[in-house]
DNA sequence: TGTATAAAAATGAACGTTCATTCTTTTTTA
DNA sequence: TAAAAAAGAATGAACGTTCATTTTTATACA
């Protein structure tokens, strides 16, 4: 683990506090004063790190999205077979959504509301490129259905968000079996 | 069309204004004053119809959810074959999400944030019962995979929300072909 | 039918609070 | 000891909500 400067520690505490508060209360009930309190920092200090509240949320979104995709592709290698590549990516994404539940919840909220700028949203999408490339190759090799990327995403990846939120709300418990079933559903919805 | 009293007209205007403003700006940027202005009503008038802002949003959610499920099941008959019943329901849901886009966006936002009470959320889930019953029957008849309702929902229904939002944001255009593809994906992800 | 009147509905202005942000001062770091 | 970082208190704007009043509606009676 790299050494963290005091500045980095403060900034991280702010990011974490923002995620926590927005998850539990929503943007509308996440005042700067509370974010500061949870991060053990003065409200004024936030403005040393971020321009304003909108900038804070945008940056948190972009950083969490980046950390999400970094995790998703960490064990993936573009030379893998299409099927293996997809399985590796899918399972890492599932992993992230279950282990880094707070961050995943935050992303889900951002992705379904006008909370963040359209520009930050665009920025976040870019990071998915390796998955889109894999699908492109899969289509060329006749292994993946020739569907729009959005439809592939809707059926192969996005359901995990719904399951994660449902689990977080305590409506049901996702276990290993469920996950394997979900993976089979995901793969069979896109494979030829 | 039944006659509407002036009261009903005002109340509906308020509900519509809430949906519109929350969709475009988010709960945090939908002040009562603006909702009132869009509905052509005094801010004080809102409090004749709703206890407070939270109550307003909760009630709008419950009513939109009810209208959504009423639409979804309007042409469904519990005596239908499982496959036909599912197709009928799925296509009505798709219809609703595309035609009543504003209402569907609002639901998506509520379902992914702490905007509304847990109690109102529970209330909204109840209306889905006919679909769960259909699945139950389908499992008994060996026509639907013996998966948890949440997983079935995640793969068969929820993807439509993602596609609807993506479409609304102008990222791609959903046409008839896409819809048929999406339906095939949905059905093949739950049928045995 | 037309008018008086009480109740209901609706209003705009006002209230107290909370918020995001800034200002001035203090503390920490280099 | 100068500069940078951080703090708490202060500020003005905006918010949700309420209040005092006006307008509309419904009712009763001529």
Strand C, nucleotides covered by protein (CB < 7 Å): 9-14, 18-24, 29
Smallest Cβ distance to A188: which of B26, B178, B189?
A: B189
- Return d(Cα B179, Cα B120) in angstroms, integer: 31
Domain extent listing, chain A: 1-49, 61-190
DSSP codes of every residue in B145-178: ----HHHHHHHHTTHHHHHHHHHHTTS----HHH
**From the candidates B54, B148, B181, which should be mutated to test the interface with A, based on the most A CB atoms within 10 A?**
B148
Q: Which residue is nearest to nucleotide C18 (CA to C1')?
A: A31
Query: B158: number of CA atoms within 13 Å, CB side?
Result: 25
Contact list, B58 vs chain A (CB under 8 Å): none
Q: Would you state the CATH architecture of domain B60-190?
A: Orthogonal Bundle (1.10)
What average pLDDT values come out for chain A (192 residues) when binned by 10 residues? 76 98 97 98 98 98 98 98 98 97 98 97 96 98 97 98 97 94 95 94
Strand D, nucleotides covered by protein (CB < 7 Å): 5-10, 14-20, 24-25
Q: What pLDDT is attached to residue B3? A: 62
Residue the block writes with tokens 């609304």: B168
pLDDT in single tens digits along all 192 residues of chain B = 346 777 889 999 999 999 999 999 999 999 999 999 999 999 999 999 999 999 999 999 999 999 999 999 999 999 999 999 999 999 999 999 999 999 999 999 999 999 999 999 999 999 999 999 999 999 999 999 999 999 999 999 999 999 999 999 999 999 999 999 999 999 999 999
Task: Give the CATH class of A61-190.
Answer: mainly alpha
Tell me which CATH code domain A1-49 carries. Answer: 1.10.10.60
Contact list, A182 vs chain B (CB under 8 Å): 151, 154-155
On whether the CB atoms of residues B130 and B161 are closer than 8 A, the answer is no
Buried b (16+ CB within 10 A) or exposed e, A127-161: bbebbeebbeebbeeebbbebbbbbbbbbbbbbbb
On whether the CB atoms of residues B97 and B160 are closer than 8 A, the answer is yes
Phi first, then psi: what are they for A51, rounded to 5°?
A: -65, -45
Q: What pLDDT is attached to residue A2? A: 53
Q: Which of B153, B117, B149 has the alpha carbon at shortest distance from B136?
A: B149
How high is the ipTM of this complex?
0.94
Q: Which of B150, B102, B108 has the alpha carbon at shortest distance from A110?
A: B108
Q: What pLDDT is attached to residue A1? A: 45
- Percentages helix, strand, coil for chain B (3-state, rounded to 5) are 75, 0, 25
Q: Do the chains contact at B155 and A114, CB–CB below 8 Å?
A: no
pLDDT in tens, A21-33: 999 999 999 999 9
Q: What pLDDT is attached to residue B1? A: 38
DSSP one-letter code for A29: G
pLDDT in tens, A121-139: 999 999 999 999 999 999 9
């Amino acid at each position: 683990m790299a050494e963290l400067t005091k500045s980095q520690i403060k900034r991280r505490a702010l990011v974490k506090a923002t995620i926590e508060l927005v998850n539990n209360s929503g943007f509308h009930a996440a005042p700067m004063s509370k974010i500061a309190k949870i991060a053990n920092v003065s409200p004024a200090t936030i403005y040393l790190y971020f321009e304003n509240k909108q900038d804070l949320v945008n940056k948190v979104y972009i950083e969490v999205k980046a950390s999400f995709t970094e995790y998703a592709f960490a064990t993936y290698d573009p030379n893998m077979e299409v099927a293996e590549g997809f399985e590796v990516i899918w399972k890492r994404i599932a992993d992230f959504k279950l282990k880094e539940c707070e961050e995943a919840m935050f992303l889900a909220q951002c992705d379904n509301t006008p909370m963040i700028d359209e520009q930050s949203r665009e920025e976040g999408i870019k990071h998915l490129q390796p998955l889109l490339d894999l699908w492109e190759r899969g289509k060329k090799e006749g292994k993946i259905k020739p569907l729009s990327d959005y439809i592939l995403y809707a059926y192969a990846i996005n359901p995990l968000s719904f399951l994660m939120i449902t689990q977080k709300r305590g409506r049901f418990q996702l276990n290993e079996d469920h996950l394997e079933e979900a993976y089979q559903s995901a793969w069979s919805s896109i494979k030829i």
